[in-house]
Amino acid sequence: MTRLSLAGLLVAILPGPIGAAQTPATHAQIDSSWLSADTATKTATFALTSGLTQLNGGLNFNGFNDGKLTLNVPVGWNVVIRFTNKDPNLPHSAEVVDTTKPMPAGPVDPPAFPRAMTVKLMTGLASGDSDTIRFVASKPGSYMIFCGVPGHGLAGMWIRLNVSPAEKRPRLTANDH
Ligand SMILES: [Cu+2]
C-alpha cells in the first residue's frame, strides 16, 4: 500500500467533522491567477511554473507533482503556456506528451501536439528563465505536461492535460491520486 492511499484511508475512517479537517497541510492550492480564458478567441493562457515550491525537491509544476493538477481544455482551443522556471537549484523544461506507461525517461519526439514544448527540452531552462508554448488542443484525450530533463518525469515532475469536447471553458482541477 502506498503512503498516499494509506493517508486516504486514515482520513476516510476518521469521524466526519474531524476527518473533514484532516486535509493534508501539504496539499497545494490552485491559484486562480494561473489560468485565464478568452472565449472570443478560444484561447486558454496558463502560467506554468516549475519549482514553484520545494515540494519533491523542486521537481514540481505550480507546486504539484505526480499528475495531481489537471489543466482541462475544450477541444479545439488555443493553448498558451507561459513557462517559467523558479527552481533556484535545477533546470527544467516542459513538453505535452501522450499519457504513456512507462513514463518517458527524457524528451519525446514528437510532442502530442505540434510545438507543444519549451526550448531546451533536454537540458532545461535555467533558474529564472522563461519560454512560451503555443499550440492548438486539436485532439481529445488525456495527456501530460512533463519535464523533459532526463529523470525528472520519472521522479514525478508531471501534471495532466485533459482535452475534451465536454469542457465548456478551461479550468484547473486538483486531485490526490
Ligand atoms: Cu525538471
Domains detected in the chain: 31-174 (2.60.40.420)
3-class secondary structure, 33: helix
pLDDT at 86: 98
Is-contact 62 81, C-beta < 8 A? no
pLDDT(16) > 70: no
3-class DSSP assignment, residue 141: strand
State the distance from the centre of ligand 1 to the C-alpha of 128, rounded, in angstroms: 13
pLDDT at residue 9 above 80? no
Residue 102 has pLDDT above 90, yes or no: no
- Is the model more confident about 22 or about 33? 33
In terms of Cα–Cα distance, which of 97, 88, 90 is closest to 118? Answer: 97
Residue 53, C-alpha cell as written in the block: 515550491
How many angstroms separate the alpha carbon of residue 114 from the centre of ligand 1? Answer: 21
Residue 143 confidence (pLDDT): 97
Q: What integer is the mean pLDDT of 155-171? A: 97
Better-predicted residue by pLDDT, 162 or 10: 162
Length of the chain: 177
Helix (H, G, I), strand (E, B) or coil at 19: helix
CA distance 166 to 170: 11
Instruction: Select the more confidently predicted residue: 123 or 19.
Output: 123
Is the pLDDT score of 175 beyond 90?
no
Question: pLDDT grade, residue 100 (50/70/90)?
Answer: confident
Residue range 119-148: average pLDDT? Answer: 98
Give me ligand 1 centre to Cα 16, in Å. Answer: 39
What the block records as the C-alpha cell of 28 is: 497545494
How close is the Cα of 51 to the center of ligand 1, in Å? Answer: 8
Question: Average pLDDT in the 23-50 region?
Answer: 88
When pLDDT is cut at 50, 70 and 90, the band that residue 156 belongs to is very high
Report how far ligand 1's centroid is from the alpha carbon of 136 (Å).
24
**Position 28 confidence tier, pLDDT thresholds 50, 70, 90:** confident
pLDDT of residue 20: 43
Q: 1 falls in which pLDDT band (50, 70, 90)? A: very low
Q: What percent of the chain has pLDDT over 90?
A: 81
